[in-house]
Amino acid sequence: EQGRRVYYSEDGVKWTSEEAPWSARAMVAACTFKDQILITGGRYGGTEQVKPEMEYVNDVWAMRKK
């Protein structure tokens, strides 16, 4: 599913991706805090192929280096 990939790199040249555990979405807010990237909220839908009406989410996800 498009929009559910997280990309990371040790050197900024070679990138690796993984499937994210959250739903694909747009209009998220993101910030950094204590060596983490926090992603909050967003929305998805609004297309006939996926979901005609917009759905807003109010969850928070944290990513940190393995």
Three-point CA angle 4, 21, 47, nearest 5°: 40
pTM: 0.66
Q: Show contacts of 44-48: CB within 8 Å, 24+ apart.
A: none
Structure tokens at 14: 């070679």
Q: What is the pLDDT of residues 15-60, one digit of tens each?
A: 999 888 888 888 889 999 998 999 999 887 776 666 677 888 899 9
